[in-house]
Structure 1
Amino acid sequence: MSGQISPRQLEAFHAVVEHGTMTRASQQLNISQPAVSRLLADLAHDLGFALFDRRDGRLVPTQEARFLLPDIRRVLDLLDRISETSRDITQRKAGDLRIACLPGFAISHLPRVVADFLKDRPGVTVTLEPDRPERILEWMVGEQFDFGITDGFDGHPAVEREEIRVRTVCIFPQDSPLARQDVIRPRDLVDQKLIHTRRDSPFFRLLNEAFLADGQSITTFVEARQFTTACEFVAQGVGVSVVSELDAVKYRGQGVEYRPFRPAVPHRLSLVRPIHKQPSMITLEFMECFAESLHPFRQQDE
């Protein structure tokens, strides 16, 4: 072989094989007949043997050319797939997305957002891995995931973040006297069986400050790591809790109600990604979609 074979040469060869004449091949390729002739001459020179014999006014592949034809077709098919995939990537319809999140998100808000995102993106694959905040930070620093959803994040030089404050509400069984109130305050929960997040969590510290500011103290009944767990306890009639509205809304119609909690104790979510890993277009688009999905639940400044 004396030169580098180009895809255009292979396309010209295949078009002549399919149509039998350079005239029809040139029409298919939308180039002139002399251009087709030059491509074939260059290809024959590069390969070192003749490509066609002329029979009854048609060009017929030589035995050597026939031997190569299956491989040439596979190459052209592969090039077509590459072109199609690249178009899908450019249009955000193909790619791989690796998401790390808090366990509660894996079974509450996130699946719906991912499902909506994938509807018009059949070429996108998603890996979803739930774990505790410490582990999510490790994954971001190690560039093992594209995007993370966590809380209690104090910052890291290798991680970029966007903080979103999500409203919290008081959730309680629907037959509770609390249902008669428009707003729930710490003083209203003094005689209630309170279910709350772990005492070492940033959210518990904020909640405890709200109780102290109202002249009250928290009396623990059940301590749970996740808001979803607290909501399950409330749905079973165990007690009441203060949780993210993102989680509470999933329990509407399941024997519970909720009301705004004052003073506002927002759940501080952090949307994080590795700062030194160039994000894919699909990652940036999903991060934007996810942030937008939180808009109805954002805590407004009071």
Structure 2
Amino acid sequence: MAKLTYRQIEAFRAVMVNGTTRAAAETLFVSQPAVSRLLTDFEETIGVKMFERRRRRLIPTPEARFFYEEVERAFVSLEKLSRVAEELREFPLGALRIASMPAVSVEFLPALTDQFCQLHPGVSVTLQVRNTQQVVDLVASQHFDMGIISGIELNDPSIEINVLADSRLVCVLPSRHRLASHDVIRPQDLEGEIFVSLGSEQSIRKKIDSVFDREGVSRQLMIDTQLHYAACAFVLAGNGVSLVDPITAWHYRRLGLIVKRFEPRVPYRYSIIAPKQRGQSDLARSFLELLDKSLIELEKESAGLFERKLQPEALVAGNGVAGNK
């Protein structure tokens, strides 16, 4: 049995819509005999009579009306696909799925996402906030287009990882703290202070503790939390001091927190991950470009409290391995 051609179906639809072969021919920009021939071939191919011919008029049979319903559904789908393809060229439509650790999700990513949506009206954005390992799992399973994590070491062959920023932890103090006038905070300055620690199972906690242990500085370790923004909230309420990531600290600075440079350098890396076997979409590239610009602006705004790249003096000092590993 011969197969139906798209042209035959197109002729059938045009006749059903316009009522006559003449009107159908005008719609298809072909001759009337050409439409009649296509209809004849169409009926012979499917082996079913589709029209009654009465006084030069074509009267659709019940079979024709039934078949036409299916044809219309198919044509509507094709037209929709054509519109989507057209829109994708300008990418006003689409979806971007981002998973992120909490450290950049309090203000930075929501503000960045708002900018992105203004640049690309019609794009839907999903932002899931999870711990770093959960972010890795979501991206590895290809449920998300990208993930933002701390700089842990990854050995997953399904994930591609790139460094966003090699930065450092900063010291956060409550307003009117005795150290508010200091440009740089050192371990000795925090002797006897109530210290808000990050979770004991986090490797960054060990790095922080080792800095104070080496200097023989004793702190009051009375508060422990998993999240950088929770640590900032404790400090803002006057419940001690802490060392946290600079992006979170910069958000709380606007709320009244004092943010200071801390020496010696405790590295903190922000990384971006994506599924390795899947190409990057135009939307993802556009978001990453905007993300990089925002980090450049943040570095300038914070006067270097947030660092995008490891500083040469840190490398000379032997602190070249950045990240929360």
- Shorter-chain TM-score: which interval? 0.7 to 0.9
Q: Secondary structure at the match of 2:193?
A: coil
- Confirm or deny that 1:228 pairs with 2:229: yes
How many residue pairs get aligned? The number is 299
- Kept in 2: contact 1:133–1:152 (CA 8 A): no
Letter in 2 for 1:269: Y
1:178 is aligned to 2:179: yes
CA drift of 1:188 comes to 3.2
Mapped pair 1:217 → 2:217: yes
User: What is the aligned partner in structure 2 of residue 299 from structure 1?
Assistant: 308
Q: For 2:57 and 2:250, locate their aligned partners in 1 and report how far apart those are by CA, in whole Å.
A: 72
Do the aligned residues in 1 keep the contact of 2:91 with 2:283 (CA within 8 Å)?
A: yes
Alignment deviations for residues 33-62 of structure 1 (CA, whole Å, 9 cap, x no partner): 565455434323322244445667665534
CA distance in 2, matches of 1:14, 1:246: 60
Q: Structure 2 unaligned runs (5+)?
A: 300-306, 312-325
1:133 aligned partner: 132
2:168–2:268 contact (8 Å) kept in structure 1: yes
Residue aligning to 2:13: 14
- Could you say what secondary structure the match of 2:185 adopts? coil
Per-residue CA distance 1:121-172 (angstroms, 9 max, x = gap): 535463x443333344444445454422222421214121012224543222
The answer for the alignment partner of 2:273 in structure 1 is: 272
Aligned pair 1:255/2:256, yes or no?
Answer: yes
Post-superposition offset of 1:173: 2.0
Gaps of 5+ in 1: none
User: What TM-score do you get using the length of structure 1 for normalisation?
Assistant: 0.78
The 5-angstrom pairing of residues 67-216 of structure 1 reads 67-89=66-88, 91-95=90-94, 97-119=96-118, 120=120, 122=122, 124=124, 126=126, 128-158=127-157, 159-164=159-164, 165-208=166-209, 211=212, 215=215
Amino acid at match of 1:299: R
Residues 288 and 253 of structure 1: is their aligned pair in 2 closer, same or farther, counting only changes over 3 Å? closer
Given that 1:11 and 1:76 are in contact with CA atoms closer than 8 Å, whether structure 2 keeps it comes out as no
- Note if contact 1:88-1:123 (Cα within 8 Å) is conserved in structure 2: no
- Letter of the 1:196 counterpart: S
Where 2:176 maps in the other structure, the secondary structure is coil
For residue 232 of structure 1, report the CA deviation from its aligned partner.
Answer: 0.8
**1:207: how far off?**
3.7
**Matched residue SS, 1:204:** helix
Secondary structure at 2:248 match in 1: helix
The answer for the alignment partner of 2:314 in structure 1 is none
Distance 1:148-1:176 versus aligned 2 partners, 3 A rule: same
Query: CA 1:138 to 1:49, structure 2 compared with 1: closer, same or farther past 3 Å?
Result: closer
Q: 1:34/1:269 Cα in 2 relative to 1: closer, same or farther (>3 Å)?
A: farther
Which range moved further: 88-97 or 73-82? 88-97
Question: 1:74 deviation in Å?
Answer: 1.6
Query: For 2:247, what is the secondary structure of its paired residue?
Result: helix
Task: Quote the sequence identity (%).
Answer: 30
How much does 1:203 deviate? 3.0
Runs of 4+, deviation exceeding 6 Å: none
Q: What's the offset of the Cα at 1:236? A: 1.0
Paired letter, 1:83: S
* Cα-to-partner distance string for 1:66-119 (whole Å, 9 max, x where unaligned): 232222212211222222334445554555544433234444433333444445
TM-score, structure 2 as length reference: 0.73
